[in-house]
Amino acid sequence: MMNEKETLVWVRSSVLDDSVALEKGDKVNVQNSLDAPGPWGWTLATVVEGHDNLFSQKHLGADEEEKKVGLSICCNKSMHNGQKLQVPVTLLRSSEGSSLYLANDMDMADKDAVDDSRSLPPDDLIDLTHVNEPSVVDVLSQRYEKDVIYTHTASNLLAVNPYKEIPDLYGHAVMETYWLAGEGTSFDDGVPTRRRSSGALARRASVAVPRRISGAAARKISVAAPRRISDGRRESGANVDGDEADVLPPHVYGISDHAFRCMMSMMEGGESDIMLASLGGKLNQTIVITGDSGAGKTTASRHVVEYTARLSMLRSRAKKIDELGYKGRKTLSQSTQGQSAFRLSRNPSMARAVNIEMRVVQSSPILESFGNARTFLNDNSSRFGKFVELQFKENGSLIGAAIETYLLEKVRLVSQSRDERNFHIFYEFLASATAEERKKYLLDELTAKDFTMTCGSGTFDRRDNADDSEQFDELVDALGLIGIGNNDMEYIFSLLSALLHISNLTLLSVNDEESKVEQENEHLDQVLTLLGLEYDALDAALTSFSIQIRNQEYVRKLPKEKAEKGLEALAKALYGALFKYIVRTINDNMRPSSTDKKTGSIGMLDVAGFEHFERNSFEQLCINYCNEVLQQQFIKLVFLAEQREYQREGIDYSEVVFGDNKEVLDLIDKKGHGIIAILHDQCKVPGTSDRTFATNIYQQFQSHPRFKASRKQKANQMFSIVHYAGSVEYDITGFVEKNKDEVPKEGSQLLESSSNPFVRKLCAIITEHHKPTTTGAKFAQNRGVGHELTTQLRDIRDRIDATQPHYIRCFKPNSDLRPGDFQPALIANQLRYAGVLEALRVSRNWFSHRYKHAEFYERYYQLAKDELKDFNGSEREKCQLLVNMVAFQIWELMQETDAVEGDDESKNMSFRVDNVGLQVGKTKVFLRHKTFEYLEYLRGRIIVNHVNKINALLRGRIARKQYKKRMTAVMSAQTYARRFIAVLKAKSILRRNAAATKIQKTWRGGRDLARYKLIKLLVAWTQAHFRGWEGREQFRQLQEDQKKRKEEQKQILQEKQRKLEEEQRKLQEKQKKLEEEQKKMEEEQKKVEEEQRKLEEEKKQMEEEQRKAEEEQRKMEEEQRKAGEERRKMEEEQRKAEEEQRKAEEEQNKNVQKTQPQDPPANKKSAPKPTPAPPQVPTADTAKAGCSCIIS
């Protein structure tokens, strides 16, 4: 029994708060551990009391007292450090809900596991004695502190982002190391670099492979010693030559190398083909890189592509060396001395066969510049997904590649969140453009701070210390190497400049329903020039739209808001087309030139990591949907497929509980009823809106377990989805518009009318993907972003199913991008939802290798050929008998290496078979990985024994032939040696005579040379003194001349200064006169203004008098009117008076006639009386005349 004090356990920190102190007997009064600094939820402790209770747990009865164990806290970061506490022993369980786990301090429970008490934790988590969450996190933490970021989990690789450059982690030398390690091991193991043996068995397994057997044959018979065998020390493994070699640590290069060798082995066939088939191997391979945003997926994918692309060079070089033999190898090594095999020439004139690797490697920086951007969580975040497929010939040479991209985040062109940037290319372009380029692309002195597209968030730099100018230089080199010429580069950079200027265009409102492009905008001319457009065409395309009614087209104006949306859609469409053009050009230049029938491929899938921001929109839903699909694929391959296989074959296995995200996928992409299907249907309806879509999904999914929408969320048009990585809240605003991703018909027609051929080429790309629409009723012509993504992901799933997948799970140690900051709680959460712990348990407890009955019997028949020689039975019976026999051999081997403790009760056959990990199914034989290694070791030992016997016979025959040749050669050598010695003696005498003559000649020459040097020195001294005197005289004369010239110049300057002062004085006098004249003119002006004021006052008086006169005239006219009335009355009275007078006269005449005789005498006639004149009435003319006199 081990010492109790050496038993380490992990205890949940929250349990310690309710624990009882051993020394005082009362509860420890402390704060909640979650609020305390240091611990992340688990605390390391040592068992000091109740050790037997820890390992002899049974179900307690209702009346039994709960057993406890005493713990001594030994965690420096815990607030309980140094305390002794009691915790319930029932907390020690195997489930994930446990609060107490055994720590990996020694071999306690798993007798097949290695001792983990060493300076560096194991490279493979499967080697841990106890697999549980705190132990795994602790191992990753210890490795991270030592800058070891890669860790194996069986065949998968875990990578923790260091957020810094680690010296010697990558590079050509490291690549070559992993290549050579792969060449030195066989393909029998899961990962070639992990092939190792250790301890006593490792030393016994140092079986030398004969030197005459090399190449493929040597690799086929290489011995794979078991991995989990130890005598208490961690030693390096033994290679096939018996020399101890260091085990290469986990690395992304190792995963890439393994995928390449799996593919090559399947193409070459042979035994390795059968062994890979036992692992479920397939010809084509896929490396799937997953993880949260900021976990380092982009870096991992770049290294995967680089290493895999360059492997073909090493493969071709190795084959050439084997073909040339020893002399050829020596010549080739001398010709390439000092050059790494992984270094590639950057000469553009390289042949395609050599240049294809460089083109594949250089595609990564191009895609990163145009498709990556700084986000809140990652400075080099991929804002698109990509699938890179490398194609190889049967001989391992790379013949081509293809890249498919998904979900480019074009909305980033028009809006960026806080602490984020637009795509890298804009900042790189602006940072490194020379004065000539700025003039060519109409940028002048503008910077990223001057464009709306690059200054929206106020963030311009990267936190990862990447220099935008240097990145741009690398981009230009990569574009040239990939096959994009200078003309196309100019077109690309012109379009980038145009997009920058487009972001600064402004639209003005004419009224509520009309708008126009501002002509005075300083960026308008640049946009028109770079895109080859006219202002009228641009204005019409952005501010109006046309509709077709009964074969007649009507044009309608757009308000400012909709016109701005059209401008943004045009910019996004142009950039999306540019990105597709670049990807197509890359693919065209990497397309295989040959059509070989037998080819293999290695794919690399890299999608944006799971995202959960403060505000999540349609882009985050699509990205998280992609991650959900990959998570389900991982679950399907690791868990579901295994379980179904075991059930079909009737194999006993320990079931592992794992999380299934099928409900989430049904919620998102279920045909006809998922969120994407509902969104697609809504986009088909004219006039649909985000609110309509929100109402539909609220009604459809109100009872769905993974869909959450509170009243507050519904009021704000939001909802939450419970993803495998946690709940994420989405804002529905913009869902319909972003899913449509429409390009107005007018925008396409505008680009088609461009005079720029490159813009017209991009327009063709736009129209082939986006059929231009004018109304929502025609949305059925477009598939929509969500629907297209669903189709692409279905294709990705089919590809992964048809290939052999290799997983790289990337993790971020903290959310602030700080180097050296390892946050266990964050890592534990990522491990939990990524299913790493479940995958570990599957790898430890399940069967990783399987053979068909016939294949197993044929491969391992030699291990029990005496027992099987006379046995006649079915294939399954033969396999069962063979399994029983090899189980006995494996059991003995395990006892020899102290891997198990043997006793009399454990030596029955069934016990052995169960413990060595062998089961016979209906059609296959299943083996655990360590059992497979033992079998390969036993088989390899038999093969090597036979090979040694054959080699002994061959060496004997060869030695006899060589002895005869050597005897003849010795006689010839002696003859030549004697002659050679005589010639040397004669030559020695001649050399002595020649040397004496040469010495004398040299002495005389030296004497004369010394005299010559002395004379030369004296002459030189004399000449130097004379030249010095002559130079000083010249210098003195020059000084005097210079002094005279200075005096003359001084006088001239003084005279000029005097004249200038005189002119200045005259100018001042003139200025004074002008000022006096100006004062006089101002006084005269004042006088004129005073007279003008008086004239205005007189004018006002005259106007007043004229008004009064007009009033008098009006009164006089009234009086004149009245006088006229009186005159008429007087005339009437006069008329009446005249009438009366006439009547009176007539009466008088009558009376006179009556009184006088009829014929009076002539002289008696009487004269009539004079009639009095009527009174004179004033007329209108006389009245006017009188008025005029009065006025005057």
Output the known binding site for ATP: 291-298
DSSP 382: E
Question: Cα–Cα distance between 437 and 1007 in angstroms, integer?
Answer: 68
Rounded Cα–Cα distance for residues 703 and 667 (Å)? 11
Angle between helices 560-590 and 468-482 (to 10 degrees): 50
Whether the CB-CB separation of 179 and 248 falls below 8 Å is answered with: no
Number of Cβ within 10 Å of residue 943's Cβ equals 17
d(C-alpha 1110, C-alpha 1097), whole Å: 20
Q: Which residues contact 15 (CB under 8 A, 6 or more apart)?
A: 87, 91, 99, 100
247, containing H or E segment: none
How far apart CA 851 and CA 280 sit, in angstroms, is 10
The residues that bridge with 244 in the sheet, in sequence order, are: 238
Residues 6 or more apart whose CB falls under 8 angstroms from that of 104 comprise: 8, 116, 128, 129, 130, 135, 139
Alpha-carbon torsion (1025, 1030, 1032, 1033), positive or negative: positive
Query: Residue 1189 burial by CB count (10 A; 0-12/13-18/19+): exposed, middle or buried?
Result: exposed
The amino acid at 1128: R
- CA–CA gap between residue 653 and residue 647 (Å, rounded): 9
Residue of 209, 183, 320 lying closest to 265 (CA atoms): 183
531-534, long-range: CB within 8 Å, 24+ apart, which pairs? 531/495, 531/498, 531/751, 531/754, 531/756, 531/759, 532/754, 532/755, 532/756, 532/759, 533/750, 533/753, 533/754, 533/755, 534/753
Residue 483 gets which letter from DSSP? Answer: T
- Tokens 């009355």 map to which residue? 1129
What six digits make up the tokens of 186? 């066989």
Calpha distance 823→928 (Å, rounded): 34
Contact 71, 55 (CB under 8 A): no
Distance CA(716)–CA(709), nearest Å, equals 10
The backbone torsions φ and ψ at residue 102, rounded to the nearest 5 degrees and listed phi first, read -75, 135
1008 vs 988: CA distance, rounded Å: 31
Residue ranges of the annotated binding site are 291-298
Distance, CA of 340 to CA of 476 (rounded, Å): 25
**CB-based contact 293:611 (threshold 8 Å):** yes
Q: Are 495 and 849 in contact (CB under 8 A)?
A: no
Judged by DSSP in three states, 713 sits in helix
Exposed/middle/buried for 1040, CB within 10 Å: 0-12, 13-18, 19+?
Answer: exposed
Q: Rounded CA gap, 736 and 734, in Å?
A: 6
What does the alpha-carbon distance between residue 389 and residue 246 come to, in Å, rounded to a whole number?
33
Q: Determine how many CB atoms are found less than 10 A away from the CB of residue 1025.
A: 10
Determine the Cα–Cα distance for residues 366 and 488; give it in Å rounded to an integer. Answer: 14
H helices present in 636-674, as ranges: 641-649, 662-669
